[in-house]
Structure 1
Amino acid sequence: MSGIAGVDYAWTHPGGAALKAAGKKFACRYLSDDHRKNLSKAEAKDLSSHGVACVVVWEAGAKRALSGSKGGAADAKKAEQQAAALGMPQDRPIYFAVDFDATPGQQDHINAYLDGAAGVIGRERVGIYGGYYPVKRALDAKKAHWAWQTPAWSGGQWDHRAQIRQGAQQTIGGVGCDLNVATADDYGQWSPH
């Protein structure tokens, strides 16, 4: 599959020069309660200076999306504050992680969580990260405008609407990174202003 090559990683960072040398055009990075794994302003500037765009995902625990509307609103407020401090433009999306094998019976809680986030940042900025099924269900219900799909828990299926697809792993600059491909020109990327 052709597309725009990117990566995601958490606590260790390969740096903009290494990502550029590896042909990567974007890095999906964390916003969370754990500042050690979060994107920093210095890192965002380093990435940008090497032509690597940023994409952000909020994750406060694998199953946090089951916390419903109140959890989604609380997380979106924190994510929005962190993103603003990084210099992220206010029209760019924030993906919210559903990092487990979510069942159909859990989707109402996930949708409520995304509704809570939308009440804070606007529906047009809400993204979902997860396997095929929660991504498809959230997009079908119009609870998220953006989607980043992992192959985990997907049974080999891909939702064609997902703007980013996660894939294999590669070591870049001594750091283990998940490889991603953006399948749309606009996948939520930005550079700090």
Structure 2
Amino acid sequence: MLSQTVVSVSVGGLLLLCIPLNGWAGSIDSNDTTDLLLGGVGVLLGHELGHLVLSQTKDIEFDGVAIVYSQSVLTPQEKLRVASAGFQVQWLLSELAFKQLQKPSTGRSRDFAAGAILGHLAITAAYLTFLKDDAYGDVTAMAEATGHSRNKIVKFLAVPAVLDAWRLWGDPPPWVPHVSRGAKGWGIAWAWNW
């Protein structure tokens, strides 16, 4: 059975992806919407698979599709790695999507890439708002593992998301992609070296 949190994120993210924001590829039609949704769902699946793959290397309990950190015997380092694995994967996928958007091609691959970036932004927005205080959520697990507050964790998660929104919808200065990639790289390195 799917947990209420996973259903909320999935439905909320999919609704966000239906907003007709398609400035990267011209007018929106049914193919564009399908590709946007596929890109967004792909990043959501990538996020969850990141947790699943890493958790398979540890003795971690599951409640449906949700990881139950409190019933697992993990060191703080292991807990941080598993809890942040979804963000690590979505950050890597978002950078691959931005690379695709930089190519001169148009059409479906660009819409799929834009959908992937929108999915990354929707997932992050969910964790910055209504999932921030979820007792079984990624932010809570990262906060418990590190001793940092949930507010501090979400502030860091917001940095690459805000910069990526600027990259997608605006005309940012050349330093913005570098800072976004640097923040993502620092976050991944921190999770593995903390």
TM value normalised by structure 2: 0.28
Larger Rg: 2
| Higher helix content, 1 or 2 | 2
| Higher strand content, 1 or 2 | 1
TM value normalised by structure 1: 0.28
